[in-house]
Structure 1
Amino acid sequence: MADSTDTKTAVTLDDVRRASKVIEGAVVHTPFDRSRTLSHDLGADIWLKFENLQFTSSYKERGALVRLSALSEAERKRGVIAMSAGNHAQGVSYHAGRLGIPATIVMPEGTPAVKAENTKRWGARVILEGKTLEDAARFAHAYGKEHGLVFVHPFNDLLVIAGQGTVALEILADVPDLDVLLVPVGGGGLIAGMAVAAKALKPDIEIVGVEAALYPSVYNIIKGTQMPARGDTLAEGIAVANPGDVTCEIISRLVDDIVLVSETDLERATFALLMIEKTVVEGAGAAGLAAMMADRQRWKGRKVGLVLTGGNIDPRLLASVLTRELAREGRLSRLTIDIPDRPGELSRVSGVLGQAGANIIEVYHQRVFTDLPAKGTELNLVIETRDKSHLEGVLAQLEAKGYRVVVKAAQAG
């Protein structure tokens, strides 16, 4: 493999093929299946690469294993160090454990405990240091240098890039006639490796990267814009403020476009994959589908490959995504109704809702913090309906009985 300073030939198809041999038998050749329902609904021929079915639920295993396998015997004995808040950490920890290589993982102080514990599970030593990923990275570099450890970069490494490129080899071996690959982009390792392999095998294939709108770092570099990269995004796996120089050079040469998706787009795509494909995908893994759902006309009639990059999403966050989307679809709604404060009034409201076919999920009264008269009360309900038209029918029946109803709508974006 060429030296990283010569980025024009930094990673080649042969490098990716060699990486494929390295990971054979140790990393899952994940399914690449057509989604009949999504294809029908979006008017395109949609194929899904289920990298969330890797042992650690992420494609990151590929590059981590290729990098670890290239260590000298002396380097293996000294060990490695990596910085990550999630998937890269687990990939390095798992395969280092398999290979008998001591591993130290530096994670930011605010990393959820479940991610730290999953990383420790495979034998890595976890150090919580720094308030941000950048702080953790600085500490990891300094600590690694002090202790003679090899730093395993999550994306800006030639061997890691080649390892991630094996995703494209598998995709095009399974379905050679794709028109487009839609790939989530954080630091750029995955799309850079995939672009090297895919463009060499099929020069006319279109490769489009997808970033969260809150972190348009590669978009800024490619498009010459200066949008800020900050905030809490559902797609935390691609929330990278400073992408790699090696990865961006490859992207600028081989990737056709970069698009941005909103948080609502990401939530809807995550919800759709769970409800339609019955597969759990983290926000970053849903980015490709989010791009298709946000701009359906662009992909209409085309054969599109999407990479579901990972499935490591916090259960509470997933529950929030699901309930928010149910609210957007009109299947969960919060109602505020002004009623007289007298016996039987709640029963009357419940009767109207029952006759209309609505299900009451939550109910509580508000008598103090309201501007209603002393003999009035504010009734707050969360109800379940089939869809928006059913909700409209329920509201009409309540209003027909003389109730004034205010609906708390779900946020659209």
Structure 2
Amino acid sequence: MSTYNERMKRVEISVHDIFRARHHIEHFVDRTPLAPSVPLSNLIGAQVRFKFENYQRTGSFKPRGAINKMRMLSEEERKRGVIAASAGNHGLAVAYAAGLIGASAQVVVPENTPKTKVAGIQRLGAELVFHGTNYDEAEECAYRLAAENGRTFIHAYEDQHAIAGHGTIGLEILLDWPEADVIVVPAGGGGLILGIAILAKSVHPDIRIIGVQSHASPPWYYSFRAGRIVDVTYRESLAEGLHGGIGQKIFPLVLRYVDDFILVEEEEIADAMCWMARQHHQKVEGSGAVGVAALRNGRIPDIAGKNVVCLISGGNVDDERLAELLEAQEERKPSRYEKGLRSSC
């Protein structure tokens, strides 16, 4: 079971770990497309390609890390089962991976987790526990339950095996497009962007790795600039999958490998989700659309003429939410959800 000391151990990941992860997971995840976006390329004067992890099994990039982590469990750990805290996508991945190895899974999610993610976790056979209003509260509950029932805690972003699994995205990108100059990555806890950055910087030291967060959940943006983890104010966001704290154990590595973090507004995220639906016929959740929002609104400097990869990290958005955003944009008025966001600010 997890202890405080185990939680504070520093994480170390090598390129070799990422290649091993690819070997471990290649039969259980899909190599997702890297496809050009002509309209976005024309808009910003750069060559833009989307890495479509919304095509991944369970609808997001998360199985890459969860499967790699669970392949490392001992037989005894598998018998005791696993537990995870999640804003939704990690829970889906843990439930999927647990099924592959024959382990039982318990997933703690915030009470406001999107219905499509809740339904998916249940469909994959995991036991759901609802607790709190954000990821951090769900995580504390999951750690308590792990101590009580002996399950192995599967961390969403502060685990070297999970991060190495996510790093396989960077490997696929550079195998498909070695000329990439910039990779734009949604940033939540930090495991995804760190895995990609370690692989990409090791192969191509001059490549720029840019993380994107929302103003509603900006811990990396401010902590990166301060050079230390700082407290920030959190608000409700369309990008709920990026909501919550950042990894203390991985913080020094992120400072070493990532070039910058930028912020986008809620209205820009909503617009990007609608734009992806209309221009590319893609169902993209708010967390997966923040990179599109950043590029469409000129948030990333020195991008003209560059080869840019924009990671679409997931597509698990409730149909009703996306339909309402599309309708509201069509009518040029804020949706009920956006009104709620504004009134809470």
What is the TM-score of this pair, normalised by structure 2?
0.90
Counterpart residue number, 1:256:
259
SS in 1 for 2:35: strand
Q: Does 1:274 align with 2:277?
A: yes
Counterpart pick for 2:234 among 204, 208, 230: 230
Alpha-carbon separation, structure 2, partners of 1:179 and 1:73 = 43
Asked if the contact 2:190–2:250 (Cα under 8 Å) also holds between the matched residues in 1, the reply is yes
Counterpart residue number, 1:286:
289
SS in 2 for 1:101: coil
Asked if the contact 2:108–2:131 (Cα under 8 Å) also holds between the matched residues in 1, the reply is yes
Counterpart residue number, 2:314:
310
List per-residue Cα deviations over 1:183-228 (Å, max 9, x = no partner). Answer: 0101001001001000001001011111111111011111129673
Counterpart residue number, 2:302:
298
SS in 2 for 1:82: strand
SS in 2 for 1:298: coil
Asked if the contact 1:218–1:248 (Cα under 8 Å) also holds between the matched residues in 2, the reply is no
Alpha-carbon separation, structure 2, partners of 1:99 and 1:51 = 23
Residues 77/198 of structure 1: CA separation in 2 closer, same or farther (3 Å cut): same
SS in 2 for 1:85: coil
Alpha-carbon separation, structure 2, partners of 1:189 and 1:282 = 19
Alpha-carbon separation, structure 1, partners of 2:294 and 2:157 = 23
Asked if the contact 1:216–1:227 (Cα under 8 Å) also holds between the matched residues in 2, the reply is no
Alpha-carbon separation, structure 1, partners of 2:114 and 2:262 = 29
Counterpart residue number, 1:109:
111
Which stretch of structure 1 is more off in the superposition, 99-108 or 22-31? Answer: 99-108
Pairing 1:203-214 to 2, within 5 Å after superposition = 203-214=205-216
Q: Which has the higher strand share?
A: 1
Counterpart pick for 1:95 among 86, 89, 97: 97
Unaligned runs of 5+ in 2: 1-5, 335-341
List per-residue Cα deviations over 1:369-388 (Å, max 9, x = no partner). Answer: xxxxxxxxxxxxxxxxxxxx
Counterpart residue number, 1:123:
125
Instruction: Give the share of equivalent positions with the same residue, in percent.
Output: 39
Q: Name the aligned partner's letter for residue 138 of structure 2.
A: A
Counterpart pick for 2:331 among 322, 327, 330: 327
Asked if the contact 2:87–2:240 (Cα under 8 Å) also holds between the matched residues in 1, the reply is no
List per-residue Cα deviations over 1:255-294 (Å, max 9, x = no partner). Answer: 1111001111111211111111111111111111111112
SS in 2 for 1:260: strand
Alpha-carbon separation, structure 2, partners of 1:143 and 1:122 = 21
Alpha-carbon separation, structure 2, partners of 1:227 and 1:5 = 21
State the shift of 1:42 in Å: 2.2
Q: Name the aligned partner's letter for residue 292 of structure 2.
A: L
List per-residue Cα deviations over 1:385-411 (Å, max 9, x = no partner). Answer: xxxxxxxxxxxxxxxxxxxxxxxxxx9
State the shift of 1:92 in Å: 0.5
Alpha-carbon separation, structure 1, partners of 2:250 and 2:263 = 18
Residues 54/102 of structure 1: CA separation in 2 closer, same or farther (3 Å cut): same
Q: Name the aligned partner's letter for residue 157 of structure 2.
A: F
Alpha-carbon separation, structure 1, partners of 2:264 and 2:278 = 20
Q: Does 1:140 align with 2:142?
A: yes
Counterpart residue number, 1:189:
191
Alpha-carbon separation, structure 2, partners of 1:116 and 1:277 = 26
Alpha-carbon separation, structure 2, partners of 1:131 and 1:174 = 40
Alpha-carbon separation, structure 1, partners of 2:231 and 2:277 = 31
Pairing 1:46-65 to 2, within 5 Å after superposition = 46-65=48-67
State the shift of 1:112 in Å: 4.0
Residues 124/254 of structure 1: CA separation in 2 closer, same or farther (3 Å cut): same
Counterpart residue number, 2:88:
86
Alpha-carbon separation, structure 1, partners of 2:211 and 2:30 = 24
Residues 21/117 of structure 1: CA separation in 2 closer, same or farther (3 Å cut): same
Alpha-carbon separation, structure 2, partners of 1:113 and 1:125 = 15
Alpha-carbon separation, structure 2, partners of 1:227 and 1:83 = 21
Residues 327/43 of structure 1: CA separation in 2 closer, same or farther (3 Å cut): farther
State the shift of 1:229 in Å: 3.0
SS in 2 for 1:245: coil
Unaligned runs of 5+ in 1: 334-410
List per-residue Cα deviations over 1:156-203 (Å, max 9, x = no partner). Answer: 111111111111000000000111000010100100100100000100
Q: Name the aligned partner's letter for residue 13 of structure 2.
A: V
Misfit runs of 4+, over 6 Å: none
SS in 2 for 1:48: strand
